[in-house]
């Protein structure tokens, strides 16, 4: 382990691989905005992607940006929009309604973009930022929309709701539509919503433009697509919605992607949910993923029955020996997050069984949890608290996997593997941001090891984490143990000792037992939801339910689990597609 995370985190990136050798002013931005970037945000020079994207957006062309996680894409699209709005001949007013729409896939990302906007607009009180997102009070949102929001950040579902039901929402001046995390927006079943949104915006725009051409910009409406990963749906959407776009961050070969001539602003009549077969060129576009070069990526091979004890040990090691600042652990379901949150927060332990009074909390760091079934208020509090903590652990579903910018997260642990390799990229992208150091650790069971090949196919390779050294560093019953010959993880004395202690803790706490059983059921359900090619790697039939039970510190597999699992399997066979998408949504 010492050789693992600790030494590898020294892998650093050179400044000129992240930052450009020019100034914000030289990109054509207004002097006041440059001051704002320096004084309010602390940004002295643009990042490489900002140096490319800002002039491109200022030029009025459609833009598609593909850049690694944590390279400053948010500012890259917000700043040119603010530049145009602040220099408009006639000061824009709230009564003018919405000029720019930023679509994002999650509530947390919505808040994050909104906060950045607030800072950037500090000196431009007449440009009003706002957000609308699921889980908030509709009537308060309606009131805000009625007053007028110049730059609106929104999640697709709630935006569509207001487009249909809030007559006072004025968007006849809409000039920019930004798709942040574009590929994610088109996944999660949002593709249809996006199409409907564009339908509303497109048709209304035509009608209003006929009556009053209030647009004060010299170029037509701009569409901007941003993501660290692209997929076929984005390609398909880009082809029909971007006219003669500037493409940034696509390799020379990929730039050859042929864009069909399209009527400007034409979004409709093309179903972006169609499983269109990508052409060879489009396949090239999604072949290799951009991962921060300084990120150190490892995997650990842990048999199912020992997974929990391994996770516990790695976390203890990270916080106590390596003094990692912040760590994010990703799970496949909300129930799994709840279970581990309660367990990690309550599990006390003594390394000597004969002295139970010397028990102390096993993990001594602050622990947070984040998932889609929490109340919006709790989600917001966690999000803010984890941001400002110096040393903490966040347990989350994939809700934290995209776009979120938590400072000083040093390690990402994927306890449950992601689905598509694309998700792997975004998950690990929560660390090693903007040239900072970072580590990631992917848990795999021995039966899942082919997943590494799937990642390699996308140019992502991982090294094995030196687990045994970590385990050997923990004393059992007050004594250091030295394993002469390593047989198997399950028979490692520390793992056996810890597993027994956790199982006894769960057995003695009825509340914990319930959480464990619930988490178990949904974990198995989520496992069945792996799609396409990945079904070959994450084979449900290979799961040993007794061992899975152990990974939730249950001494045996509860009968209810077996029934639920069989029912789920039956349902899956009957409605394969429907089941997959609904499971995928539920996990957030």
Residue 345 and residue 300: Cα distance in Å, rounded? 24
| Least distance (Å) between residue 288 CB and ligand ATP | 16
Nearer to ligand ATP, 106 or 306 (CB): 106
User: Which one, of 265, 264, 285, 347, lies nearest residue 312 by Cα?
Assistant: 347
Q: Which residue among 70, 80, 191, 558 contacts ligand ATP (CB under 6 A)?
A: 70
Main-chain phi, psi angles of 411, to 5 degrees: -145, 135
Write out the two tokens for 379: 């989600």
User: Which one, of 213, 132, 142, lies nearest residue 172 by Cα?
Assistant: 213
The mark string for 282-301 relative to ligand ATP (x by CB under 6 A, - otherwise) is --------------------
User: CB-based contacts of 97: which residues, under 8 Å, 6+ apart?
Assistant: 148, 149, 169, 170, 171, 172, 173, 174
Element of type H or E holding 247: strand 246-248
From the list 69-77, 191-199, 214-222, 555-563, the region that binds ligand ATP by CB under 6 A is 69-77
| Least distance (Å) between residue 233 CB and ligand ATP | 18
Residue 477 and residue 328: Cα distance in Å, rounded? 30
**Measured CA angle at 185 (ends 183, 189), to 5 deg:** 110
The mark string for 225-254 relative to ligand ATP (x by CB under 6 A, - otherwise) is ---x--------------------------
**Measured CA angle at 248 (ends 460, 152), to 5 deg:** 105
Residue 268 and residue 270: Cα distance in Å, rounded? 5
Residue 22 and residue 25: Cα distance in Å, rounded? 8
Contact 346, 429 (CB under 8 A): no
| Least distance (Å) between residue 223 CB and ligand ATP | 18
Q: Which residue among 403, 417, 419, 435 contacts ligand ATP (CB under 6 A)?
A: 403
Q: Does 583 bind ligand ATP (CB under 6 A)?
A: no
Nearer to ligand ATP, 322 or 398 (CB): 398
Q: Which residue among 66, 74, 100, 294 contacts ligand ATP (CB under 6 A)?
A: 74
Residue 34 and residue 32: Cα distance in Å, rounded? 5
| Least distance (Å) between residue 426 CB and ligand ATP | 7
| Least distance (Å) between residue 434 CB and ligand ATP | 4
Q: Does 433 bind ligand ATP (CB under 6 A)?
A: yes
Q: Does 379 bind ligand ATP (CB under 6 A)?
A: no
Nearer to ligand ATP, 170 or 329 (CB): 329
Q: Does 69 bind ligand ATP (CB under 6 A)?
A: yes
Residue 450 and residue 462: Cα distance in Å, rounded? 12
Q: Where are the alpha helices (DSSP H) in 189-248?
A: 190-211, 232-241
| Least distance (Å) between residue 98 CB and ligand ATP | 22
Q: Does 105 bind ligand ATP (CB under 6 A)?
A: no
Nearer to ligand ATP, 70 or 129 (CB): 70
Nearer to ligand ATP, 69 or 327 (CB): 69
Nearer to ligand ATP, 171 or 383 (CB): 383
User: Which one, of 100, 2, 7, lies nearest residue 468 by Cα?
Assistant: 2
Residue 274 and residue 285: Cα distance in Å, rounded? 18
Strands 409-414, 326-330: pairing is: parallel
From the list 41-49, 183-191, 516-524, 547-555, the region that binds ligand ATP by CB under 6 A is 41-49
| Least distance (Å) between residue 75 CB and ligand ATP | 5
Residue 355 and residue 526: Cα distance in Å, rounded? 40
Residue 481 and residue 493: Cα distance in Å, rounded? 8
Element of type H or E holding 362: none
DSSP 240-272: HH-SS-EEES--TTGGGPPPPP--TT--TT--T
Nearer to ligand ATP, 24 or 344 (CB): 24
Q: Which residue among 36, 43, 343, 443 contacts ligand ATP (CB under 6 A)?
A: 43
Q: Does 46 bind ligand ATP (CB under 6 A)?
A: yes
Nearer to ligand ATP, 119 or 469 (CB): 119
| Least distance (Å) between residue 48 CB and ligand ATP | 10
Contact 326, 409 (CB under 8 A): yes
Contact 518, 506 (CB under 8 A): no
Residue 84 and residue 29: Cα distance in Å, rounded? 9
| Least distance (Å) between residue 337 CB and ligand ATP | 21
Q: Which residue among 34, 53, 63, 72 contacts ligand ATP (CB under 6 A)?
A: 72
Residue 306 three-state SS: helix
Burial status of residue 331 (CB atoms within 10 A of its CB: 0-12, 13-18, 19 or more): buried
Nearer to ligand ATP, 69 or 172 (CB): 69
Nearer to ligand ATP, 55 or 466 (CB): 55
User: Which one, of 5, 44, 53, lies nearest residue 22 by Cα?
Assistant: 44
Q: Does 431 bind ligand ATP (CB under 6 A)?
A: no
Nearer to ligand ATP, 52 or 445 (CB): 52
Q: Which residue among 429, 435, 438, 558 contacts ligand ATP (CB under 6 A)?
A: 429
Nearer to ligand ATP, 42 or 213 (CB): 42
Nearer to ligand ATP, 24 or 538 (CB): 24
From the list 65-73, 239-247, 412-420, 456-464, the region that binds ligand ATP by CB under 6 A is 65-73
From the list 71-79, 123-131, 200-208, 246-254, the region that binds ligand ATP by CB under 6 A is 71-79
Q: Which residues pair with 513 in a beta bridge?
A: none
Nearer to ligand ATP, 47 or 445 (CB): 47
Site residues, ligand ATP (CB under 6 A): 43, 46-47, 50, 69-75, 228, 403, 405, 429, 433-434
């Amino acid at each position: 382990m010492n050789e693992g995370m600790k030494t590898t985190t020294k892998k650093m990136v050179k400044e000129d691989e992240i930052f450009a050798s020019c100034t914000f002013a030289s990109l054509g931005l207004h002097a006041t905005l440059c001051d704002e970037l320096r004084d309010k945000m602390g940004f002295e020079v643009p990042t490489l992607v900002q140096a490319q994207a800002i002039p491109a957006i200022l030029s009025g062309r459609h833009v598609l940006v593909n850049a690694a996680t944590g390279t400053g894409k948010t500012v890259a699209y917000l700043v040119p929009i603010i530049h145009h709005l602040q220099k408009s001949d006639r000061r824009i007013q709230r009564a003018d309604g919405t000029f720019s729409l930023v679509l994002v896939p999650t509530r947390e990302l919505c808040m994050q973009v909104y906060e950045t906007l607030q800072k950037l607009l500090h000196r431009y009180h007449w440009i009003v930022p706002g957000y609308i997102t699921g889980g908030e009070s509709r009537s308060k949102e309606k009131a805000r929309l009625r007053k007028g929001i110049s730059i609106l950040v929104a999640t697709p579902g709630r935006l569509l709701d207001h487009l249909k039901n809030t007559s006072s929402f004025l968007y006849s001046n809409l000039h920019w539509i930004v798709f942040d995390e574009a590929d994610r927006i088109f996944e999660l079943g949002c593709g249809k919503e996006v199409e409907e949104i564009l339908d509303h915006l497109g048709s209304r725009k035509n009608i209003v433009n006929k009556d009053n051409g209030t647009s004060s910009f010299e170029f037509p409406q701009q569409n901007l697509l941003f993501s660290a990963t692209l997929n076929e749906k984005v390609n398909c959407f880009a082809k029909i919605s971007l006219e003669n776009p500037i493409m940034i961050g696509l390799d020379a070969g990929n730039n050859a992607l042929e864009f069909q001539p399209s009527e400007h602003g034409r979004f409709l009549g093309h179903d972006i949910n169609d499983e269109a077969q990508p052409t060879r060129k489009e396949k090239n576009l999604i072949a290799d993923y951009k991962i921060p070069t300084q990120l150190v990526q490892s995997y650990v091979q842990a048999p199912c029955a020992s997974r929990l004890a391994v996770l516990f040990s790695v976390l203890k090691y990270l916080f106590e020996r390596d003094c990692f600042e912040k760590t994010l652990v990703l799970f496949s379901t909300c129930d799994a997050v709840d279970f581990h949150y309660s367990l990690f927060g309550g599990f006390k332990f003594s390394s000597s069984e004969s002295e139970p009074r010397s028990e102390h909390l096993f993990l001594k760091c602050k622990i947070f949890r984040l998932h889609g079934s929490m109340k919006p208020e709790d989600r917001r509090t966690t999000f803010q608290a984890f941001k400002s903590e110096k040393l903490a652990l966040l347990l989350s579903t994939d809700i934290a996997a995209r776009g979120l910018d938590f400072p000083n997260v040093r390690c990402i642990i994927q306890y449950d593997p992601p689905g598509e390799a694309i998700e792997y990229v975004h998950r690990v992208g929560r660390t090693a941001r903007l040239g900072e150091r970072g580590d990631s650790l992917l848990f795999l069971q021995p039966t899942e090891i082919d997943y590494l090949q799937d990642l390699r196919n996308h140019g992502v390779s991982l090294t094995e984490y030196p687990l045994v050294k970590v385990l050997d560093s923990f004393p059992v019953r007050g004594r250091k143990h030295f394993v002469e010959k390593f047989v198997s993880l399950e028979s490692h004395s520390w793992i056996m000792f810890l597993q027994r202690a956790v199982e006894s803790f769960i057995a003695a706490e009825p509340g914990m037992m319930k959480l464990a059983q619930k988490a178990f059921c949904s974990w198995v359900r989520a496992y069945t939801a792996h799609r396409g090619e990945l079904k070959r790697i994450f084979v449900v039939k290979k799961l040993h339910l007794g061992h899975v039970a152990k990974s939730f510190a249950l001494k045996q597999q509860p009968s209810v689990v077996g029934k639920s699992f069989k029912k789920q399997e039956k349902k899956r066979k009957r409605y394969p597609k429907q089941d997959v998408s609904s499971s995928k949504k539920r996990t957030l």
